[in-house]
Amino acid sequence: KQKSINQSSKQNLIKNENRAKPLSDEAIMAKIEDEFNIKLVRRTITKYRKALNIASSSERKKLYAIQGWLNDD
């Protein structure tokens, strides 16, 4: 039986990511494909990420640094 992908499961991927190395759209795609057994393209991930107002991985990394989530080594 195929699991359904809902908004909260997509947001949980981002919420639980390593803040020092945020997930790229390709990594999100691979995790969704593995967990939900469906085939996607990166454009689809980008479209839904933007629709959910989730920044790109490089933008999230900058935001995490500004918010103090990253240690200065």
Residues 7-51: tens digit of each pLDDT: 677 678 888 899 999 999 999 999 999 988 999 999 999 999 999
DSSP label at residue 23:
P
Cα separation of 20 and 2, whole Å?
Answer: 32
pTM, full prediction? 0.76
Q: Looking at residue 70, what is its pLDDT?
A: 60
State the Cα–Cα distance between residues 37 and 60, nearest whole angstrom.
Answer: 27
Q: 61 falls in which pLDDT band (50, 70, 90)? A: very high
pLDDT of residue 5: 67
CA 12 and chain centroid, separation: 8
| pLDDT confidence tier of residue 3, bands split at 50, 70 and 90 | low
